[in-house]
Amino acid sequence: MPLSISGRPDEAQGVKVIHAALDSGMTLIDTADVYCLDDDDIGHNERLVAKALATWSGDRDSILVATKAGLRRPGGRWETDGRPAHLKAACERSLNALAVDRIDLYQFHAPDPGVPFTDGVGAFAELQQEGKVRWLGLSNVSVDEIGAARGIVGVATVQNRFNPFFHESPHDGAIKYCNENGIGYLAYSPVGGGRLNKKLPGHPVLDPIATARRASPHAVVLAWVLARSPNVIVIPGARTVEHVVDSASSAELELSAEELKAIDDGEFSTA
């Protein structure tokens, strides 16, 4: 997302960052049609991902690309649009932008208060039946909404915000529910997002752990998120090679029970 929204680097840098992620062993790329500047720029990040994959020296088939539909960017704003006609048109655009015949993982970006949630889920189910999508996922959903969707179609993943500043709220219980039901949980904004991640260096709980582990505070936080549950996957964003390589290092970092508890109990102010 940070490679395609306001403040994004140029395309060559974007491709470099994605290559660095893949070279570091990351195997899942999370994108969305709306990771762009506005409605005239829809698909910017999907096109960037397609370009990076086409020019990567590794095995393209080992990489899973997840994208989303259900939002729009009029005038650069973020607005929901869960109408089935929008979702179906968005799928055609995403197939084209990603240059694929089938989307690996297609996620309903967010419930639209103006459209019954199950209507949108039904559209995703039809896209899967038509062979345009392999797996379906949801995002920004509560346990009740996950349950409602599962009454219609199989749900492979749920993507909600989870970081030390926002412990699941307002979607409490989703990680546990997903784990009990064989659903992957993609923790978004795992280091706090573009603004709050800057508060990690110098944090009184993270700093001593980072020093002892010879890791960055960002990597410590990612290890803490990953330790939450076996079904949790982190999808950190980055605009620099240095940051993406550092984030990848968190996969090797196993925190002790005491360290995990210290972060659980730490104060992480959003102010």
What are the catalytic residues? 35
> CB of 239: closest distance to ligand NAP in angstroms?
3
User: Apex CA 196: angle with CA 221 and CA 166, to 5°?
Assistant: 65
User: Is 112 near ligand NAP (CB under 6 A)?
Assistant: no
Residues in region 16-55 near ligand NAP by CB under 6 A: 30
Return d(Cα 157, Cα 258) in angstroms, integer. 30
The size of the interface with ligand NAP (CB under 6 A), counted in residues, is 26
Question: Of the ranges 92-100, 123-131, 212-220, 253-261, which one interacts with ligand NAP (CB under 6 A)?
Answer: 212-220
Q: Which residue number, 90 or 235, has a Cβ lying nearer to ligand NAP?
A: 235
CB 20 within 8 A of CB 241: yes
Return d(Cα 57, Cα 187) in angstroms, integer. 28
Residues in region 82-111 near ligand NAP by CB under 6 A: none
In a 10 Å sphere around its CB, with 0-12 CB exposed, 13-18 middle and 19+ buried, how is residue 158 labelled? buried
Return d(Cα 235, Cα 241) in angstroms, integer. 15
User: Residue 178 has which token pair?
Assistant: 């997903």
Task: Give CA separation, 130 vs 124, 127, 133, 166, 230, in Å.
Answer: 10, 5, 8, 37, 32
Q: Which residue number, 196 or 205, has a Cβ lying nearer to ligand NAP?
A: 196
Residues in region 166-195 near ligand NAP by CB under 6 A: 188-194
Residue number of the CB closest to ligand NAP reads 237
Residues in region 150-169 near ligand NAP by CB under 6 A: 159
One residue of 216, 228, 253, 259 binding ligand NAP per CB under 6 A: 216
* Of 63, 27, 1, the residue nearest 238 (C-alpha): 1
Per-position x/- string for 231-250, each x denoting binding to ligand NAP as judged by CB under 6 A, each - no binding: ----xxxxxx--x--xx---
Rg of the chain over Cα atoms, rounded to whole angstroms, equals 18
Q: Which residue number, 132 or 247, has a Cβ lying nearer to ligand NAP?
A: 247
One residue of 94, 142, 157, 197 binding ligand NAP per CB under 6 A: 197
> CB of 134: closest distance to ligand NAP in angstroms?
19
Return d(Cα 109, Cα 6) in angstroms, integer. 19
> CB of 84: closest distance to ligand NAP in angstroms?
20
**DSSP track, 21-33:** HHHTT--EEE--T
Q: Which residue number, 1 or 90, has a Cβ lying nearer to ligand NAP?
A: 1
Q: Which residue number, 129 or 217, has a Cβ lying nearer to ligand NAP?
A: 217
Q: Which residue number, 120 or 130, has a Cβ lying nearer to ligand NAP?
A: 120
Return d(Cα 180, Cα 96) in angstroms, integer. 35
- The sheet with strand 157-161 has its strands ordered as 28-30, 64-69, 103-108, 133-139, 157-161, 184-188, 232-234
Residue numbers at the binding site for ligand NAP (CB under 6 A): 1-2, 30, 139-140, 159, 188-194, 197, 216, 218-219, 235-240, 243, 246-247
